[in-house]
Amino acid sequence: MSTLSSGVFAPVLTPFHADLSVDSGRFLTLCRRLLDDGCHGLVLFGTTSEANSLSLEEREGLLEVFIEGGVDAGQLIVGTGLCAIPETVRLTGHAVGLGCAGVLILPPFFYKGISDEGLFAAYAEVIERVADDALRIYLYHIPKVSGVAISAELITRLREAYPKTVIGIKDSSGDWQNTRMLLEDFPGFRVFPGNELIMLDALRLGAVGCITATANVNAAGLANLYAGWRGEGAEGLQETASAVRRAVQSQAMVPALKAIIARRNKDDGWLTLRPPFVGLDEERAGALFAALEGAGFTA
């Protein structure tokens, strides 16, 4: 398994046909475009991918489409965390076997109030069952969605037990203090903020990049920020990226991103979402594109 571990990563949107089946053609086209537009890597089956609306077979099939389409598995981190340990093991082993750069694993997220002891046991069970020295895990901390936090104490214990396996984290807490703590207290741990609003500050403290939903539509702008964060124009690049982010998140994120791609590609097929997501109505779509125009962004 490759150890690609820095840069701008897009958690790739999942397109669907009108009958709600996965559209692998549009998916592969988007993956290639994101890499061409400057993404250093891609994340499949994260929150933005509507991953928890996909079956195991659909996830495995799309990953194979990616690989068979000639895209380098070494540019890919795969979301594999589910509530059931056997399913997490299955998806994780599949990704490792295909040579992906890493896996992004949510904690088991149905039961709440779980102790660090229980969470450690869950991660440890996955690692021991996959039993592959090539496995590289990024923890996925998104407590506002999962309802289950990944504490500093849990990270410490996992790193001590599996130092070559548990190598990083995507911090989607939305809490700068948490991101800063991770960067300051865990040297060498590969920290990806989950949105670009704090990207410059995080890079200056040692973050290795950013995994952000808006890379699906603003890959070039974010790649410019990553390339130029040490330069004199870094603050301006950050503000430009932040303005786009604020415009997009003024509406529901996944429907908004799909609406932008539909307009950009002149392809209404991108407007299809799996329930429980619903598309933006005319008023909300209008507000989205007005906000983007105000941010100087051409959809």
What residue type is 39 in one-letter code?
Answer: C
Give the model's pLDDT for residue 228: 97
Q: What's the mean pLDDT when you consider all of the chain? A: 96
Give the model's pLDDT for residue 298: 86
Annotated active-site residue in 123, 170, 226, 258? 170
Q: Give the pLDDT band (50/70/90) at residue 71.
A: confident
Angle at 206 (CA atoms; ends 199, 238), nearest 5 degrees: 20
Q: Residue 43 in contact with residue 138, Cβ under 8 Å?
A: no
> pLDDT of 249-279, one tens digit each?
999 999 999 999 999 999 999 999 999 999 9
Q: Would you call 226 a catalytic residue per the annotation?
A: no
- Using CA atoms, how far apart are residues 126 and 247, in angstroms rounded to an integer? 39
What residue type is 135 in one-letter code?
Answer: L
Q: Residue 254 in contact with residue 51, Cβ under 8 Å?
A: no
> pLDDT of 234-254, one tens digit each?
999 999 999 999 999 999 999
- Which two structure tokens, joined as six digits, stand for 161? 């037990």
> pLDDT of 127-153, one tens digit each?
999 999 999 999 999 999 999 999 999
> pLDDT of 2-16, one tens digit each?
446 699 999 999 999
Q: Would you call 138 a catalytic residue per the annotation?
A: yes
> pLDDT of 174-206, one tens digit each?
999 999 999 999 999 999 999 999 999 999 999
Q: Residue 173 in contact with residue 141, Cβ under 8 Å?
A: yes
Q: Cβ neighbours of residue 86 under 8 Å, at least 6 residues apart? A: none
Q: Report the side by side order of strands in the sheet with 41-44.
A: 190-193, 166-171, 137-141, 102-105, 76-79, 41-44, 7-11, 209-211
Give the model's pLDDT for residue 39: 97
Instruction: Kindly tell me the sign of the dihedral angle through the C-alpha atoms of 44, 37, 195, 135.
Output: positive
89, containing H or E segment: helix 85-97
Looking at 3.20.20.70, 3.30.365.10, 3.40.50.150, 3.90.870.20, the CATH number of the domain 7-232 comes to 3.20.20.70
Annotated active-site residue in 138, 140, 226, 258? 138
What residue type is 57 in one-letter code?
Answer: E
- Using CA atoms, how far apart are residues 231 and 71, in angstroms rounded to an integer? 31
- Using CA atoms, how far apart are residues 226 and 276, in angstroms rounded to an integer? 34
Q: How far is CA 265 from the centre of its chain?
A: 22
More confident residue, 280 or 5: 280
Cis peptide before 276 (omega within 30 of 0): yes
Q: Is the pLDDT of residue 290 over 80?
A: yes
Percent of the chain with pLDDT over 70: 98
Q: What is the signed CA dihedral for 62, 65, 67, 68, rounded to 10 degrees?
A: 160
Q: Is the pLDDT of residue 1 over 60?
A: no
Q: Cβ neighbours of residue 84 under 8 Å, at least 6 residues apart? A: none
